[in-house]
Amino acid sequence: MSSLALFPCSATLDSGIIGELSKTLSLTVYTDNNLFGETAERFSVNPERLKKIMYSKTSVFNQFTLEKEKSINMFKQILADKLASPVEYLFHGFLTSLIPPPVTEVLRVLVVDQKEGRIERAITQGVNRGEAKKNIRHHDVSAFYWTDFLFKKEAYDSSLYDLVIPVEDKNHRQITKEILSSFHKTSVLRTPESQSAVKDMKMQAEIEHLLLANGHKMDSRVKAGHVTLIIDNSVLGFSRLKNEVTELVEQVSGVTGVSIERCKSYVESVYRQQKFELPSKVLFVDDEREFVQTVSQRLNSRDVGTYGVFDGQQALELIAEDRPDVMVLDLKMPGMYGVEVLRKTKEIAPEVEVIILTGHGTAKDREDCLELGAFAYLNKPVNIEELSATIKAANDKVHAVVHAS
């Protein structure tokens, strides 16, 4: 029993290859969309959100939310169950990057072509040249974001695959024949060693799920029940952290031992355990860079995850693609005034709660901002405890609305 995993390279010959292989080998095709649907159903999450997390640039707030790591962990749990089942699959999509190399019963394949060849192929399928270039670039950028996050490698790096086939002048039947030749080798058969690697994958996913749920982000390796955790964040109080994560991991059924390793770049400092119930998506907008950096550091120490930009246009661009929950907005900035940023924010994303912060506001400014929907209006110099409490109140309001809907 064996399966195939085909990483997509847009405007190659994927559709023809998939049709030939699935028919010839009686494989069940399983795509990213199948994965989104099953993950959404099992874990009660929005499939469109999962899609965005897989295909888009990592959110600037992810360092505080760990949303991408949690989503990938859910994907891994679903895939581990698929690999443990008796069904033989043709996996197609970005999901194929999540199948670890020790699972040798899956042949990981990349069919790739030069960009100009892909453009010409797209044109023959009825797309104009400009649209073809745009679509291919969008796909390649998404693929790069994905594999860079997972491996710090480009998507079409040959080291990520067992078999790389350049299209050149081949048709889909010729490429299918090459894949079948490799697929029928004994090295791709389901073996006890490969199934043991599937069990390790499943256990690793369970362990990562438990660690993430408790605010710990760290790499892990599993081999026949023995777990190795690699701490790549700098830590002050290593022994306490070691004891805490060891106790968590030992809760997972089948764990026979736990080892903790420091990564090569380890340097002792402060380790921040994530506290997901606190504000993790706060955008700070102020043209005074030093003020933004200082206040952000003080808020971060109070478990308020803050990302700073320095003008209104930057803020609106970020909101358009990467929604914060709360925005702290300076009223008087060069270029676009805070009132205009507030107005446009409420047009683009009315769910974002906006806290106005100003050292030169008037009673009229305050009235205008509150009429436009500002959550609060605070004066500089701001008391950090008051600001922190106001942000948390705004965050509570956002999440109360989300839970109610």
Give me the residue spans of the domains in the chain.
3-188, 214-262, 282-404
Q: pLDDT of 74-89, one tens digit each?
A: 999 999 999 999 999 9
pLDDT score of 302:
84
179 near 189, Cβ under 8 Å? no
What pLDDT digit, counting tens, does each position of 124-154 carry? Answer: 989 999 999 999 999 999 999 999 999 999 9
Distance (Å, rounded) from C-alpha 362 to C-alpha 342? 16
pLDDT for position 361:
83
Angle between helices 238-249 and 192-213 (to 10 degrees): 120
**Is 154 in a helix, a strand, or coil?**
coil
| 282-404 and 3-188 share a CATH fold | yes
Q: What is the pLDDT of residues 302-323, one digit of tens each?
A: 888 899 999 999 999 999 989 9
Nearest to 17, CA basis, from 83, 132, 111, 85: 111
- As beta bridge partners, residue 255 has none
HSE, CB side, 13 Å, CA atoms: give it for residue 390: 20
The residue type found at 141 is V
Q: Could you tell me which residues come within 8 angstroms of residue 32 by beta carbon, excluding any fewer than 6 positions away? A: 51, 54, 92, 93, 94, 95
Euclidean distance between CA atoms 45 and 62, whole angstroms: 17
What pLDDT was estimated at residue 43?
A: 97
pLDDT, tens digit, 9 for 90 and up, residues 218-275: 899 999 999 999 887 666 677 888 899 999 999 999 999 999 988 765 444 444 556 6
Beta strands in 184-316 (DSSP E): 219-223, 226-231, 257-262, 282-285, 306-309
Q: 282-404: which CATH topology?
A: Rossmann fold (3.40.50)
Tell me the pLDDT of the chain averaged across its residues.
91
Three-state SS for 327? strand
Q: Which CATH architecture best describes the domain 3-188?
A: 3-Layer(aba) Sandwich (3.40)
Query: Mean pLDDT over residues 56-69, rounded?
Result: 94
Contacts of the segment 156-160: beta carbons below 8 A, 24+ positions apart: 156/9, 156/110, 156/112, 158/110, 160/7, 160/97, 160/108, 160/110
Q: 278 versus 297: which is more confidently predicted?
A: 297
